[in-house]
């Protein structure tokens, strides 16, 4: 995200869907800076995606209706008087409570506490009843191999709000994984009938010692099937790793770390998934051919 995009995001008011995503995905104490609506009730969250311990899966949790959730906790419990006898005023900073119940089992509940600071236009999650998950999806763990240990450490640091440390581990993972990913891209291009010159360029990229040139090679040859709405996940990884994190405020570093985490997960899993899928198809075709003989 360049400076212009960061400025536009900062001045665009926070909406309900962004608040729902923040509740679903953001780790504790990670600040998010954006213009806030005058009243939190204007962006009341409806559905968040949280892992349900009873359903053993990530499930939609729907908001539990209440008549005063949109008031800061201290106003609700200490000073309940105010305009219209609700205590509701414009731009009320403080800690807000959000209540949700699993849509599947209709039993498990999720509570989340978010500190809203109107002076700084910042929201920060300060508590939740279901811990932010540091579990690694099985497929990703398999694809990462030994690097799964680094990924686990990155998740722990993210859960504690240490964006720079998380980025360091994620960079180590990308450095270790870039050659295996280039090898997968080589095989994909080879099966697609790429000419020898294109294949030699990938081979040269694999042999290079410079990490930046390796990831630039991977970004340049990524198949369209792995693009996400026109966005190149490998280029996103390259761009995030090129940013001077030490010059940025904490909330921007955490945002970069979370984007990097998402892009690394997608690139590693999808490239390996396509490799496995094509290998299985080839094996099935060979098996069918043998059966006909």
pLDDT band at residue 292 using 50, 70 and 90 as cut-offs: low
Could you give the residue range(s) of every CATH 1.20.120 domain in the chain?
138-292
Secondary structure letter of residue 37 according to DSSP:
P
Contact 124, 114 (CB under 8 A): yes
| φ, ψ for residue 122, nearest 5 deg | -135, 140
Burial class (CB in 10 A: 0-12, 13-18, 19+), 288: exposed
pLDDT: which is higher, 168 or 56: 168
State pLDDT tens for residues 32-68.
Answer: 888 999 888 888 899 999 988 898 888 999 998 665 5
pLDDT of residue 141: 93
pLDDT band at residue 168 using 50, 70 and 90 as cut-offs: very high
Extract the tokens encoding 242.
């090129």
State pLDDT tens for residues 137-153.
Answer: 889 999 999 999 999 99
CATH code: domain 138-292 is 1.20.120
What is the three-class DSSP state of 178?
Answer: helix
* Residue 193: alpha-carbon gap to chain centroid: 34
Order of strands across the sheet that contains 122-128: 31-33, 122-128, 109-117, 94-102, 57-63, 47-52
pLDDT of residue 78: 57
pLDDT of residue 61: 95
pLDDT of residue 47: 93
Tokens 């498990």, located at residue: 108
pLDDT of residue 291: 63
State pLDDT tens for residues 86-119.
Answer: 567 888 899 998 899 999 999 999 999 999 999 9
Taken in order 71, 75, 78, 79, is the CA torsion positive or negative?
A: negative
Whether the predicted pLDDT of 251 surpasses 90: no
Whether the predicted pLDDT of 282 surpasses 80: no
| CA separation for the pair 53, 75 (Å, rounded) | 32
pLDDT: which is higher, 146 or 71: 146
State the virtual CA torsion across 19, 21, 26, 32 in degrees, nearest 10.
-40
Whether the predicted pLDDT of 76 surpasses 70: no
Whether the predicted pLDDT of 70 surpasses 70: no
Give the up-direction half-sphere exposure of residue 207: CA atoms within 13 A in the CB hemisphere. Answer: 6
pLDDT band at residue 84 using 50, 70 and 90 as cut-offs: very low
| φ, ψ for residue 63, nearest 5 deg | -65, 145
Mean pLDDT across 276-281: 80
Mean pLDDT of the chain: 84
Burial 206-229 (b: 16+ CB within 10 A, else e): beeeeeeebbbbbbebbeeebeee
Whether the predicted pLDDT of 2 surpasses 50: no
| CA separation for the pair 143, 129 (Å, rounded) | 31
- How many other CB atoms sit within 10 Å of the CB of residue 74? 12
pLDDT of residue 1: 47
Tokens 């212009």, located at residue: 4
pLDDT of residue 117: 94
pLDDT of residue 48: 93
243: Cβ–Cβ under 8 A, 6 or more apart, which residues? 256
State pLDDT tens for residues 8-36.
Answer: 454 578 899 999 999 988 888 888 888 99
pLDDT of residue 276: 86
Extract the tokens encoding 8.
């536009």
Report yes or no on whether pTM surpasses 0.85: no
pLDDT of residue 254: 86
28: Cβ–Cβ under 8 A, 6 or more apart, which residues? 125, 126, 127, 128, 132, 159, 160, 161
- How many other CB atoms sit within 10 Å of the CB of residue 160? 16
| CA separation for the pair 274, 83 (Å, rounded) | 59
CA gyration radius for the chain? 23
pLDDT > 70: percent of the chain: 88
Whether the predicted pLDDT of 293 surpasses 80: no
């Amino acid at each position: 995200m360049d400076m212009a995009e960061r400025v536009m995001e900062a001045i665009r008011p926070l909406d309900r869907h962004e608040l729902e995503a923040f509740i679903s995905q953001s780790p504790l104490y990670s600040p998010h800076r954006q213009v806030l609506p005058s009243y939190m009730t204007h962006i009341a969250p409806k559905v968040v995606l949280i892992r349900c311990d009873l359903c053993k899966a990530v499930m939609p949790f729907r908001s539990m209706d209440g008549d005063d959730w949109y008031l800061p906790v201290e106003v609700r419990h200490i000073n309940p008087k105010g305009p219209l006898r609700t205590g509701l005023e414009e731009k009320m900073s403080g800690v807000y409570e959000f209540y949700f119940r699993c849509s599947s089992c209709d039993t498990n509940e999720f509570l989340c506490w978010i500190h809203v600071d109107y002076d700084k236009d910042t929201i920060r999650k300060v508590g939740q009843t279901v811990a932010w998950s540091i579990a690694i999806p099985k497929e990703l763990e398999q694809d990462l191999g030994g690097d799964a240990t680094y990924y686990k450490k990155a998740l722990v640091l993210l859960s504690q709000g240490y964006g720079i440390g998380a980025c360091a581990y994620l960079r180590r993972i990308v450095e270790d994984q870039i050659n295996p990913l280039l090898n997968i891209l080589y095989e994909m291009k080879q099966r697609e009938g790429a000419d020898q010159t294109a294949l030699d360029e990938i081979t040269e990229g694999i042999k290079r010692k410079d990490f930046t040139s390796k990831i630039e090679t991977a970004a340049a040859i990524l198949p369209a099937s792995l693009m996400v709405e026109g966005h190149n996940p490998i280029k996103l990884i390259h761009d995030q790793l090129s940013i001077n994190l030490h010059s940025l405020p904490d909330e921007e570093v955490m945002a970069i770390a979370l984007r990097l985490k998402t892009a690394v997960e997608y690139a590693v899993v999808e490239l390996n998934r396509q490799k496995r899928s094509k290998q299985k198809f080839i094996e099935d075709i060979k098996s069918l051919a043998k059966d006909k003989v």
